[in-house]
Structure 1
Amino acid sequence: MWKEEKELVTTYNFDYTLKRWSFDPLTKLDLEERWVAIPVKLHNKDHVVRVKGIGTTSAPKFEISSNSELVKEELLEHIKWLFQWGRDLNKVHEHFQGTNLEMLFNEYPATPIVKDFHLYDCLIKVIIHQQLNMKFAYTLSTRFVENFGYEKNGVWFYPSPETVAQLEYSQLRELQFSQRKAEYVIDTSRLIAAGELDLEELAEQPDELVVKEMTKIRGIGPWTAENWLMFGVGRENLFPKADIGIQNALKKYFGIDHKPDFQEMMDFSENWDPFKSYASLTLWRSIEG
């Protein structure tokens, strides 16, 4: 086993990252001991990387370890990509000083974009979760992975697109998927398995183009595309206006007696560019308890 330490020169709330990942029953982590075991797929092989927080929000430091010796450097790069350790969150914080979210960012500082572990996993999870309450959404995604994915060292891996492409709709219906949702999950996986949808390639495109291309796919609307861009790719300037959680957070924060409409949300977010994703995450965080 190898171990490496990584120290950041910015603020970073690792405990919030763990808390958000803890919403998913599939994630193996310990909030008190401050570690998470991350499933990583590289070159058709599976690896588990453990990341432990050994610093603080103001002076973040991490211990990274794995049994996979031969691909150590690639795993370290993947972890850096996943956690987005190249982003200076102090600059994000400074950007919102003097804006209408200044008090919010002061109350909930150093909020990073908390990404899902892989592009495909994220897309499938977002499709499964759309238009469901959080509890049942995670019930479905957990059943999906436990039935068709696999474990390594106690860590769950999502099934591959090729595996899901071979499923029958009835197999998801047995897990309480609606017929349409079963079709969306399997049909999207078939597009990926057939090479008609390349998520790695799509992740390199501008936000607007990604939303345009993804919403051509049956079962993927703007909310799904924007959430994939934020939580899968890690894009920094997204504000999902159709998200009920964000609407509720805005209602609470600005003390209004109604959920804001599209124009009000446009007005509220006028000065948030180019960091709307951090505004979205901090708003979500403010109502998560």
Structure 2
Amino acid sequence: MERFHKSNFETIVTSLCQKDNDLAGIVARHGMPPMWIRPNNFATLVLTILEQQVSIAAAFAAYKKLEAYIGEPTPEKILALSDEELRACYFTRQKTGYVRGLATAIQTGAVNLQRYETLADDAVRHELIQLKGIGHWTVDIYLLHALHRTDIFPIGDIALVNALKDIKGLDKQTPKETLIEIAEPWRPYRSIATMLLWHHYLSKRKPIQDPTSHPL
């Protein structure tokens, strides 16, 4: 499977801009997008779970609170915490269950993140989606940020959807099926197109604290 990295990222951006004038306009206005990446580890998935359906600021605040309390999150550290301790780190009851389930799966060997480095996107998705609280959006963000896969299009991402509607001048009620069709010509580099759209979205807003985080 193809991956993006520092040596091919700008080349891919340029090729996308040659195909799509609206993507080219993002670079013309705001410059090259950041290459948003994260390490392939448990802590990254914890942060991604925290980002589900909340603002990036709220998720990052919870993650930093947890990190200040236990250091970098590991399965062992998470499983040693009580409900009250996680609640003090702004974890909801649902997300407490999600991260504990993930921690248990990693401890038992049911999930092996290093193994995912060599698995196809669909195989990674099939395994992770079995875990409670891990949906398609979370898998998409993990595949893009942590595994650097080139052709991920997280249609459940609010920032991506809003940015795409904005640059294409689309109605707010435009269905997701139409957005997926618009993105088809960007294959096999929809991950990089996604970063361009995030770049457009964030450039209209104040910078977020965590430069490795994607916007919500």
Is TM > 0.5 for Structure 1 vs Structure 2? yes
Kept in 1: contact 2:150–2:188 (CA 8 A)? yes
> Given the alignment, which residue of 61, 66, 90 partners 1:144?
66
Q: What RMSD in Å do the two structures reach over aligned CA positions? A: 1.9
- Higher helix content, 1 or 2: 2
| Alpha-carbon separation, structure 2, partners of 1:112 and 1:206 | 25
Structure with the greater alpha carbon radius of gyration = 1
Name the structure, 1 or 2, with higher relative contact order (CA <8 Å, separation 6+).
2
TM-score by length of 1: 0.64
Q: In the alignment, residue 141 of structure 1 is paired with which amino acid?
A: Y
Superposed displacement of residue 108, structure 1:
4.3
Aligned counterpart, 2:26: 104
Superposed displacement of residue 160, structure 1:
2.0
Q: In the alignment, residue 38 of structure 2 is paired with which amino acid?
A: D
Q: In the alignment, residue 124 of structure 1 is paired with which amino acid?
A: V
Aligned counterpart, 1:130: 52
How many residues are aligned here? Answer: 199
Kept in 1: contact 2:63–2:89 (CA 8 A)? no
After superposition, give the CA deviation of every residue in 1:226-264 in whole Å (9 maximum; x if it has no partner): 001111111111110011101110121111231532211
Shift in alpha-carbon separation, 1:245–1:210, aligned structure 2, 3 A: same
Does structure 1 residue 86 correspond to structure 2 residue 4? no
Superposed displacement of residue 98, structure 1:
2.9
| Alpha-carbon separation, structure 2, partners of 1:89 and 1:235 | 15
SS at match of 2:102: helix
After superposition, give the CA deviation of every residue in 1:147-166 in whole Å (9 maximum; x if it has no partner): 111xxxxxxxx122222222
TM-score by length of 2: 0.84
Does structure 1 residue 174 correspond to structure 2 residue 88? yes
After superposition, give the CA deviation of every residue in 1:44-94 in whole Å (9 maximum; x if it has no partner): xxxxxxxxxxxxxxxxxxxxxxxxxxxxxxxxxxxxxxx922325224312
Percent pairwise identity: 26
Shift in alpha-carbon separation, 1:283–1:95, aligned structure 2, 3 A: closer
Q: In the alignment, residue 68 of structure 2 is paired with which amino acid?
A: E
| Alpha-carbon separation, structure 2, partners of 1:119 and 1:144 | 16
Aligned counterpart, 1:161: 75
| Alpha-carbon separation, structure 1, partners of 2:16 and 2:51 | 32
Gaps of 5+ in 1: 1-82, 150-157
After superposition, give the CA deviation of every residue in 1:73-120 in whole Å (9 maximum; x if it has no partner): xxxxxxxxxx92232522431243132533334444433531113422
Kept in 2: contact 1:203–1:210 (CA 8 A)? no
SS at match of 1:248: helix
| Alpha-carbon separation, structure 2, partners of 1:208 and 1:193 | 23
User: What is the 5 A alignment of 1:209-288?
Assistant: 209-288=123-202
Aligned counterpart, 1:119: 41
| Alpha-carbon separation, structure 2, partners of 1:122 and 1:214 | 14
Kept in 1: contact 2:38–2:145 (CA 8 A)? yes
| Alpha-carbon separation, structure 2, partners of 1:137 and 1:91 | 30
Superposed displacement of residue 277, structure 1:
0.6
| Alpha-carbon separation, structure 2, partners of 1:88 and 1:140 | 31
Shift in alpha-carbon separation, 1:92–1:285, aligned structure 2, 3 A: closer
Kept in 2: contact 1:113–1:230 (CA 8 A)? no
- Higher strand content, 1 or 2: 1
Kept in 2: contact 1:165–1:187 (CA 8 A)? no
SS at match of 1:233: coil
After superposition, give the CA deviation of every residue in 1:211-231 in whole Å (9 maximum; x if it has no partner): 121111011000000001111
Shift in alpha-carbon separation, 1:239–1:259, aligned structure 2, 3 A: farther
